[in-house]
């Protein structure tokens, strides 16, 4: 995927995701933040947490791309807050339970060996009320349709030498499918939106000609964006008693009343 990110659509995608991530993580508070995958994108640069890690499941970490600076001058890396590179498997994170306040997955689930287990690991390491930010390709978009058409041609033996439009690694996860996964793990989706509505073109010039589609698509066909962005919060429900516990006052039984015998008793026996 690193080579594809240097292409015109890759830079267009990264610029949109970087802007969304900067605004999503700037207000996330805590002490420990973790990014899984896509080290070309600095998803934690706008966050103020003192301890940050960028994890990769590959020993070869590509060089960071030269992205434009954020529009907001406050969205900059805080001095003294260094980001540490980490190599680990996404489905076996080397962190204890409830130890991370923020987890960012820019296409981390798509590139993970086991997306289900990766999401379970994210739920395990997150503290209660911790946040997870996920970005992924939308299969129900023009980009997703072109990707499926390219794979279908390859399956039929046509155009095997022709590269796919999107990276071939990983499987795309639908937006609504991912929401179901998060709900089953106890997450509550806080925000979700789509982006990148320009047609699947390779040329930088042609992509710039269709820049008007971003504003139109955001208003008229938002669910057809090439990429989706989602923020969820880990909720931990408290214990509740089933039914009501009724505290009834014990009735005090009255003492037996002494009834006087009004009959006249004779002291002598009559014969």
Q: What is the mean pLDDT of residues 148-174?
A: 80
Instruction: Please give the residue range of the domain that contains residue 126.
Output: 4-234
Residue 247 lies in a domain: no
Q: Judge whether 264 lies within some domain.
A: no
| Structure confidence at residue 206 (pLDDT) | 93
Q: What is the pTM of this model?
A: 0.78
Q: Is the pLDDT of residue 4 over 50?
A: yes
Residue 105: CATH number of its domain: 3.40.50.150
Structural domain contains residue 26: yes
Is 140 contained in some domain?
yes
How many domains does the chain divide into? 1
Please, which pLDDT band fits residue 249 given cuts at 50, 70 and 90? Answer: low
Q: What are the pLDDT digits (tens) for 216-248?
A: 988 898 899 999 999 999 998 764 545 554 554
Flag whether 227 is in a domain: yes
Do the domain assignments include residue 167?
yes
CB-facing half-sphere around the CA of 29: CA atoms within 13 A: 0
Question: Would you state the structure tokens that stand for residue 18, as one six-digit string?
Answer: 């970087």
Question: Would residue 266 count as lying in a domain?
Answer: no
Statement: residue 160 has pLDDT above 80: no
Whether residue 61 is contained in a domain is answered as: yes
What's the pLDDT at 259? Answer: 54
């Amino acid at each position: 995927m690193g080579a594809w990110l240097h292409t015109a659509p890759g830079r267009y995608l990264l610029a949109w995701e970087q802007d969304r991530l900067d605004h999503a993580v700037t207000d996330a508070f805590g002490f420990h933040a973790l990014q899984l995958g896509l080290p070309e994108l600095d998803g934690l640069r706008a966050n103020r947490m003192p301890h940050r890690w960028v994890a990769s499941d590959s020993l070869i970490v590509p060089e960071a791309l030269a992205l434009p600076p954020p529009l907001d001058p406050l969205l900059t890396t805080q001095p003294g807050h260094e980001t540490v590179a980490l190599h680990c498997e996404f489905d076996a994170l080397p962190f204890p339970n409830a130890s991370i306040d923020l987890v960012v997955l820019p296409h981390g689930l798509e590139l993970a060996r086991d997306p289900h287990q990766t999401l379970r690991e994210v739920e395990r390491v997150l503290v209660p009320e911790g946040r997870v930010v996920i970005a992924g390709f939308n299969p129900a978009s023009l980009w997703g349709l072109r990707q499926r058409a390219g794979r279908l041609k390859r399956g039929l033996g046509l155009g095997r030498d022709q590269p796919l439009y999107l990276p071939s690694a990983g499987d795309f996860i639908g937006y609504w499918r991912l929401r179901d996964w998060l709900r089953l793990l106890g997450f509550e989706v806080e925000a979700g939106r789509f982006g990148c509505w320009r047609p699947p073109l390779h040329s930088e010039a042609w992509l710039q000609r269709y820049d008007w589609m971003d504003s139109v698509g955001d208003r008229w066909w938002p669910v057809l964006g090439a990429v989706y962005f989602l923020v969820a919060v880990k909720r931990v429900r408290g214990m509740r008693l089933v039914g009501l516990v009724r505290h009834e006052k014990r009735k005090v039984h009255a003492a037996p009343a002494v009834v006087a015998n009004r009959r006249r008793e004779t002291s002598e026996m009559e014969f």
